[in-house]
Amino acid sequence: MSAARTRRTHSAPPGSRPAPPARAGFREALAFEWIKFRSVRSTVRTALAAAALPPVGAVFVAATGSLQDDDTVLGGSLTLSVVGQMLAAVLGALLITGEYAHGTLRTTLAAVPRRATVLAAKATLLAALLWALALASCSVAYLVGDALLPDGERPQGEPLPALFGIAASFAVAGLLGLAAGTLVRHSAGAVTTVVGLLLLPSLFGPLFGGAERWIAGISPTAALEKLTQTSDASADAVGSLGPWPSLALVTACTATLLGAASMTLRRRDV
């Protein structure tokens, strides 16, 4: 490296540089997060796996005929959407724990020191991406299941507007993962935590007697199962709250947790 080459790109003395630029805010942070997301294999692959699972599940269920008689076509086609949703939650966790693991969070926060903006950008990217991917993936899964399953043997289920809610439950699961990842910081711990948050309410809900309909309905998985109108979505398993109220409850809880995560991130040293 010659000194002359170095000097050429830094020739402007500080005094003659143009006026300071407009404030870099949320839009810039979002663009930054998008580049980070698409330039690493692990995040892209996790997102693609989450989107691939529901159609694969529909083919599998139709091919093996492994459906209960009282299940709906919609519910049967979306059997694997629960696992896809879990991957969505894992993706959310990785979006921030990956930064801790690779030491890039310091780089990120040096570029965008307003930490709430960083987390908001991550949340926006994640929610938009998961909603769009899940909507496409679950619609395809339903169409595949509908085409492959024999006609007239079982109730159809109502795909609309349920599919929009199903896609939203993926986004909410992702945000729950992001909140857990921000609070826990380590990938393994965050993934364990968020999978627990998805599964435990329906396991422990029945222990809470009268509060069961709230407790069991508090997981994004419960909301998803109710929206898919599967026969698994019994009141025992996922609470007796209706599908949309359940989704609203889960969204509110996730938003609260994300707010707590944002406050923690702002206070913590990195």
Partner 1 sequence: MIEATGLTKRYGDKTAVDGLTFTVRPGRVTGFLGPNGAGKSTTMRLVLGLDTPTSGRVTVGGRPYPALSAPLRTVGSLLDAKGVHGGRSAYDHLAGLAAGNRIPRRRVEEVLESVGLPPDTARKRVKGFSLGMGQRLGIAAALLGDPEVLILDEPVNGLDTEGIRWIRELMRSLAAEGRTVFLSSHLMSEMELTADHLIVIGKGRLMADTTMRAFIESHSGAHTLVRSPQPEELRALLEAAGARVHVTPRGGWRVEGPDAGTIGDLAREHGLALHELTPAHASLEEVYTALAQDEAEYRTEAAR
Least separation in angstroms between CB 90 and partner 1: 17
Least separation in angstroms between CB 32 and partner 1: 3
Alpha-carbon gap, residue 159 to 167, rounded angstroms: 12
| 6/66 with CB nearer partner 1 | 6
Least separation in angstroms between CB 172 and partner 1: 26
Local structure of 154: helix, strand or coil: coil
Alpha-carbon gap, residue 98 to 80, rounded angstroms: 26
Dmax of the chain from CA atoms?
79
| 182/251 with CB nearer partner 1 | 182
| 24/132 with CB nearer partner 1 | 24
Alpha-carbon gap, residue 144 to 125, rounded angstroms: 28
Give one DSSP letter per residue of 196-211, joined into a string.
HHHHHHHHHGGGGGGG
Least separation in angstroms between CB 161 and partner 1: 35
Least separation in angstroms between CB 230 and partner 1: 37
Alpha-carbon gap, residue 183 to 202, rounded angstroms: 23
| 109/237 with CB nearer partner 1 | 109
Residue with tokens 């109502």: 158
| 108/229 with CB nearer partner 1 | 108
| 22/63 with CB nearer partner 1 | 22
Least separation in angstroms between CB 20 and partner 1: 7
Residue with tokens 């809880």: 253
What residue ranges bind partner 1 (CB under 8 A)?
A: 1, 3, 5-15, 17, 20-24, 28-29, 31-32, 34-36, 39-42, 98, 102-104, 106-114, 267, 269-270
Under 8 Å between Cβ of 183 and 261: yes
Alpha-carbon gap, residue 54 to 60, rounded angstroms: 10
> Cβ-count burial of 164 within 10 angstroms (0-12 exposed, 13-18 middle, 19+ buried)?
middle
